Every structure is written in structure tokens, then in C-alpha cells.
Amino acid sequence: MELRPWRLSDAESLARYANDPDVSANLRDAFPYPYALSDAEAYIRDCAAKEETQLCRAIVIDGAAAGSVGVFPKTDICRRTGELGDWLAKPFWGRGIMTAAVAEICREAFRRFDIVRIEANIFARNIGSRRVVEKNGFTLEGVLRKSVCKRGEILDSCMYSLLREEVGL
Ligand SMILES: CC(C)(COP(=O)(O)OP(=O)(O)OC[C@H]1O[C@@H](n2cnc3c(N)ncnc32)[C@H](O)[C@@H]1OP(=O)(O)O)[C@@H](O)C(=O)NCCC(=O)NCCS
């Protein structure tokens, strides 16, 4: 597994893996389903345009882009906070890949940006994603009751955070 900037040539692989209802079930609606090639191209162009202000990387497995992981600095009074976002193609779940990808992206984000905190807001039912951040030393700060409306369902979400001094850079 390697993390690298997105390339336009990843669009086909991205669209193929992202077009999966199980991948988008616990993501924001900004992540479309069905996921078209044009969605993939727009995403990659957007990442390239924002390369200076956010850290978004393709997760490359056996040469193919099979997921995404990023830290997205927030604005205004939350500008010293970055938000973690990630997903991985289903064939690769359960191999420790996202745990390693999150470790790498958090360290790089703390090096690159003047942030003091990385937060992850995860649907309470998304046990796999919660385990990934817990294994990376994130602390559960609280449960945001009924904070999410996803595909018609009202859900709780969990706020996790990792502070710069907890990474040991
Ligand atoms: C959540 C996701 C990122 C996890 O990626 P992954 O590479 O499979 O994760 P890892 O293999 O590094 O670790 C997963 C951990 O969760 C555990 N896990 C996964 N699904 C689980 C479940 N349903 N119940 C209990 N534990 C579960 C695994 O056992 C593992 O923990 P362990 O090492 O203690 O055994 C991946 O499933 C995914 O992309 N899902 C769809 C998109 C998504 O939900 N993104 C996150 C949005 S916040």
C-alpha cells in the first residue's frame, strides 16, 4: 500500500471501486451513489486544485487506486482543526490497510499544517471505522445524538479527536 496524490489516470479505478452502496452507506451524501466516471474526474480535479490547502491522497494497492484518505483543515475559529475522511474498496477491507493509511496521513498532516487537532465524525454504527481511529490513538469525545440523516435514517455519530502532542512527532 502506498499513499500518493491523485492522478487523472486514477479516474477509472476510482469510479469502479467507489460505485458500491456498501462503501457509501456510512459516508456523507457528497459521496454519490451511483458513482460515475464524471464524479471520479471531478473529485480528482478538485483534489488537485486544493493541494496546497488540504492533504488528500489515493490509497494505491497493487498499482491501482483503491481508496482515499485525507485531512481537511477547517475554517474560521476551527482553523487549527483538520477533519479526517477515508474510504477503502470493499475487496481490501479487514487487512489493516486503513489503520496504516490513517497513521501515515495524520503524521503528515501535523507536519504540513499548523493544526493542533484532527477530528473524525463517524456514524456510531460504523464499528470498523471507529476501530481504525481508536487503534490510531484517537479519543472518543462524545456521541452526537441523532446528528445524521443518511438515506432517510436518523443516526447517532461519534466525535473522535487526536491532538498533535499525542502523535509523538
Ligand atoms: C471503515 C473502513 C475504512 C475500514 O478499513 P479497513 O482497512 O478494513 O480497516 P482495518 O482493517 O485497518 O481495521 C478494521 C478494524 O475494524 C474491525 N471491524 C471491521 N468491521 C467490523 C465490524 N462490523 N464489527 C466489529 N469490528 C469490525 C476489524 O476487526 C479491525 O479491527 P482489529 O484490527 O482490532 O481486528 C472500510 O471498511 C471502509 O472504507 N468502509 C466504507 C467507508 C467508510 O465507512 N469510511 C469511513 C467513514 S467515517
What pLDDT, on a 0 to 100 scale, did the predictor assign at position 153?
A: 97
Nearest to 2 by CA among 49, 50, 46, 67: 67
Q: pLDDT band at residue 1, thresholds of 50, 70 and 90?
A: very high
Q: How does strand 81-88 pair with strand 117-123?
A: parallel
pTM of the model: 0.97
Query: In the sheet where 2-4 sits, what is the strand order?
Result: 2-4, 55-61, 64-73, 81-88, 117-123, 153-163, 139-150
- With 0-12 / 13-18 / 19 or more C-beta atoms within 10 angstroms meaning exposed / middle / buried, residue 122 is buried
Q: pLDDT band at residue 169, thresholds of 50, 70 and 90?
A: confident
What pLDDT, on a 0 to 100 scale, did the predictor assign at position 158?
A: 99
Nearest atom (ligand 1) to Cα of 27: 47
Q: What is the mean pLDDT of residues 57-71?
A: 98
What pLDDT, on a 0 to 100 scale, did the predictor assign at position 53?
A: 97
Which residues are 124's β-sheet partners? none
Q: Is 93 in the pocket of ligand 1 (CB under 6 A)?
A: yes
pLDDT digits (tens, 9 = 90+) for 2-47: 999 999 999 999 999 999 999 999 999 999 999 999 999 999 999 9
- Considering only CA atoms, which residue is closest to atom 21 of ligand 1? 128
Domains and CATH numbers, the chain: 2-119 (3.40.630.30)
Q: Is 86 in the pocket of ligand 1 (CB under 6 A)?
A: yes
In 10 A of CB 130, how many CB atoms? 18
pLDDT digits (tens, 9 = 90+) for 68-112: 999 999 999 999 999 999 999 999 999 999 999 999 999 999 999
Distance 133 CA to ligand 1 centre (A): 10
Q: Could you tell me which residues come within 8 angstroms of residue 80 by beta carbon, excluding any fewer than 6 positions away?
A: 114, 115, 116, 117
Q: What is the CA radius of gyration of the chain?
A: 15
What pLDDT, on a 0 to 100 scale, did the predictor assign at position 168?
A: 84
What pLDDT, on a 0 to 100 scale, did the predictor assign at position 51?
A: 96
Inter-axis angle of helices 97-112 and 127-135, nearest 10:
50
